[in-house]
Amino acid sequence: MKKRRPAAGRRIAAVAASALLAACTEAAPSAPATTPTHLDRDALMDPETCSTCHPNQYAEWAGSMHAYASDDPLFLAMNARGQREAGIGKFCVNCHAPMAVRTGATDDGLNLAELPPKLKGVTCFFCHSVKEVTGTHDNPLVLANDETMRGEYTDPVPNSAHRSTGSHLHDRDLRESATLCGACHDIVNQHGAQIERTFAEWQASVFSEPSVGTTCGQCHMDQSTNLEPAADAPGVFARRTHDHRFPAVDVPFTGDTRELDARVQSFLDTTLQSAICVRGAGALTDVRVILDNVAAGHAFPSGAAQDRRLWVEVSAYAGKELVYRSGHVPAGTSVTDLDDPDVWSVRDCLLDADDEPVHMFWQASSFESNLLPGQATFDQMDPRFYQTHVEQKYPRGDAYLSAFPDRVSVNIWLAPVGLDVVDDLVASGDLADGDELTVAELKARLAPRALGAELTWTPDTAAPSFVSDGLPMSCITTNALNFRADTVPAVNHERCVP
C-alpha cells in the first residue's frame, strides 16, 4: 500500500550546488532600484505600514502565532521566571520579539508592555529583511537593513514604499528557504541541550532531499489557487501569493481565532495514520496500536514538544463491559497526572543536571524523547519505509486483556500545553489572572483536541485475520496504513512520568 504523500507542496526545485547554509543566496537584484524615494527603516519596521498595500498578508499574519509570539501570556510568564531564576537575558526575546532585540529596545523582554507594538512578535520587516543565515539554531539571522523587502519574486513591480528583490531564502520552492525558518525553529539552551529540534528533524527526513523533498513553506504557507495581485498598488499583475497564518498547533488565547483554529484542526486531523490490531485468542489476547506520522515534515509533535501533551486513549469492551482502558484523562487534568502504567504519551521530558524532570527551558541539561519520527524515505522497497510505523502493546509487557474483546476504540489527543506546565507557572507566582484572560479561561483554551475521528475495531469490521508470530491477528485502519508490514516498538519514557 502506498503512503499518502502530503498534498500541500510542490517538489522542491533542484538548485545547483545548494548546500544548506551556503546561505548568502540572494538573486542578483533583478529589479532596478525602484523609486529613489521610499519609506525609512523606522516606517518599514511597522506592520501597519504594510497593511495598506498588502492587506491579505497583514490580516493573516496579525492572527498568527508569529504576531502573537511576545504577547502570549505563557511566554511572558516563562520569560519572567527565567529572568528571575537564571538571568537568561535576551535568550527568549531574540526569537519571540527579534526586532525589539535588534533595535536595542529590550535586553530581557521584561519591558515588552511599554514597547510599541511594531517591535513585538516575529514581524514582516524581520522576515523580509533577512539577507543571510549564519547558523542552524537560536536565531542567527542577519538583517540587511537596506529598506529592501526580500520575497520570492525576481521581477517585483516597483512601489513607493520599499525596494524589492527576489531571494532564495524567501522562495518556498527552493530548499534554502528552510534555513531561514529553521534558524528559529531549533533551540539549544545555555546548557547545550537541543530542546527544540524541528529544523534538525526536517534535515534528517526525506523532506530535505533535493529531488523529492518539501520545504517548511510548502507545507505551512499555502499557495493561492488563483492568480491575484500581491499588493493593492499601481502596476501590479496577478500572481501566486502565500498564506501568512502559519497553522500548526497553537492559536492565540484572545481575539477571533476561528479561521486559524479550523486550519490547525484540519492539519492535525491528517497528520497521523493509525491502526488497531487485536492479537491472540481467549485469555491470551492483547491490543496493538500502530501510529505513523505521514504528513509532518519532521517529528510529531515537534518544536515545543516538552510542553505539548499527545497521548492515545484505548478502550476495549466485551459486550457492555469495559475490560481494558488506558489513556483516559478526565477533563481539566493533565495526562501526566494519570496513574496509568500503560499510557502512551508522546513528548519530550526535560531533565536537570540531577536527572530530575523539570518544565522550564533553562533548567534542562538533557531530555528524554519519544517523538514519532518524520518519514525517512518514500521508497517502499527501502527498509526505512516502515521505521515510522510505531507500535505500542496494550497491556504492556507480558500481560493480556481479561477477556477477548468485541470492540476496541482508539482516540488520539493533543493538548497544546500541559496543564501541569500552567500549574507550575501559577505556583511560582509568574502566571495569574489578567484583565483580558483569567487562568481558568487560559486553561480552558488548552483543552485537548481529538486528532481525526475515533477508530473502532470489531471482529466484523476488521480486515481478515492473519498469523503474526504464531498467533492470529486482526486489524483495522481508517486509512492506508499497511498493518501487515514491519513495525518498530514504541519508545516509552523511563526517567519521567509519561
For ligand HEC, the binding residues in 418-457 under the rule CB under 6 A are none
Q: 167: closest CA among 143, 135, 189?
A: 143
Closest by Cα among 110, 131, 174 to 23:
131
Cell of 45: 519596521
By rule CB under 6 A, what string of x and - marks binding of each residue 185-214 to ligand HEC? x-x----------xx--x----x------x
Calpha distance 342→154 (Å, rounded): 55
Binding mask 226-265 for ligand HEC (x = CB under 6 A): ----xx-x--x--x-xx-x-x-xxx-------------x-
- Our finding on whether 217 is near ligand HEC (CB under 6 A) is yes
Distance CA 423, CA 417 (A): 11
Among 23, 26, 47, 343, binds ligand HEC (CB under 6 A): 47
> By CB under 6 A, what part of segment 106-165 binds ligand HEC?
122-128, 137-139, 149, 151-153, 156-157, 159-162, 164-165
Beta-carbon contacts of residue 295 (< 8 Å; ≥ 6 apart): 4, 6, 219, 267, 270, 271, 272
Q: What gap in Å lies between CA 52 and CA 159, rounded to an integer?
A: 12
Q: Nearest to residue 135, comparing CAs of 182, 98, 102, 191? A: 182
Q: Which of 25, 106, 271, 315 is in the footprint of ligand HEC by CB under 6 A?
A: 271
> Nearest approach, Cβ of 306 to ligand HEC (angstroms)?
7
* Whole-angstrom distance, CA of residue 235 vs CA of residue 231: 10
Instruction: Report the residue number, 374 or 405, with the smaller CB distance to ligand HEC.
Output: 374
What are the cell numbers at 47? 506592520
Measured from the CB atom, is 101 or 314 closer to ligand HEC?
A: 101
Q: Measured from the CB of residue 178, what is the shortest distance to ligand HEC in angstroms?
A: 5
> Whole-number minimum distance, CB 330 to ligand HEC, in Å?
22
Residue among 496, 479, 495 at smallest CA distance from 2: 479
Cβ proximity of 133 and 118 under 8 Å: no
What is the amino acid identity at position 108?
D
Smallest Cα–Cα separation from 103: which of 115, 114, 91, 88? 115
Tell me the C-alpha to C-alpha distance, in Å, between residue 300 and each of 2, 75, 249, 292, 369.
20, 22, 11, 10, 11
- Residue choice 298, 309, 347, 359 for contact with ligand HEC (CB under 6 A): 298
Minimum Å gap between C-beta 464 and ligand HEC is 32
Q: Which stretch binds ligand HEC (CB under 6 A): 15-23, 51-59, 394-402, 481-489?
A: 51-59
* Nearest residue (CB) to ligand HEC, 265 versus 456: 265
Q: Of 3, 12, 63, 92, which lies in the binding site for ligand HEC, with binding defined by CB under 6 A? A: 92
Spatial distance between the Cα atoms of 294 and 81, rounded to a whole number of angstroms: 37
| CA terminus-to-terminus distance, the chain | 33
Q: How many residues does the chain have?
A: 498
Q: Does 100 bind ligand HEC (CB under 6 A)?
A: no
Binding residue for ligand HEC, selected from 50, 101, 278, 349, defined by CB under 6 A: 50
Stretch 372-401 residues interacting with ligand HEC (CB under 6 A): none
Closest among 48, 49, 23, 22 to 38, alpha carbons compared? 49
Looking at the Cβ atoms of 208 and 487, the one nearer to ligand HEC is 208
- In Å, the largest CA–CA distance within the chain is 82
Contacting ligand HEC (CB under 6 A), which of 23, 95, 133, 481?
Answer: 95
Residue 44 binds ligand HEC (CB under 6 A): yes
In the list 96, 175, 309, 359, the residue contacting ligand HEC (rule: CB under 6 A) is 96
CB of 175 to ligand HEC, least distance (A): 10
Stretch of 16-24, 47-55, 279-287, 327-335 lying at the interface with ligand HEC (CB under 6 A): 47-55
Q: Interface with ligand HEC includes 176 (CB under 6 A)?
A: no
138 or 406: whose CB is closer to ligand HEC? 138
CB of 391 to ligand HEC, least distance (A): 21
d(CA 443, CA 382): 44
State yes or no: residue 66 binds ligand HEC (CB under 6 A).
Answer: yes
Place of cell 470492540: 407
Which residues 353-372 are close enough to bind ligand HEC by CB under 6 A? 361-362
Of 272, 269, 277, 270, which Cα lies nearest the Cα of 483?
Answer: 277
Considering only residues 463 to 492 of the shown chain, the ones binding ligand HEC according to CB under 6 A are none
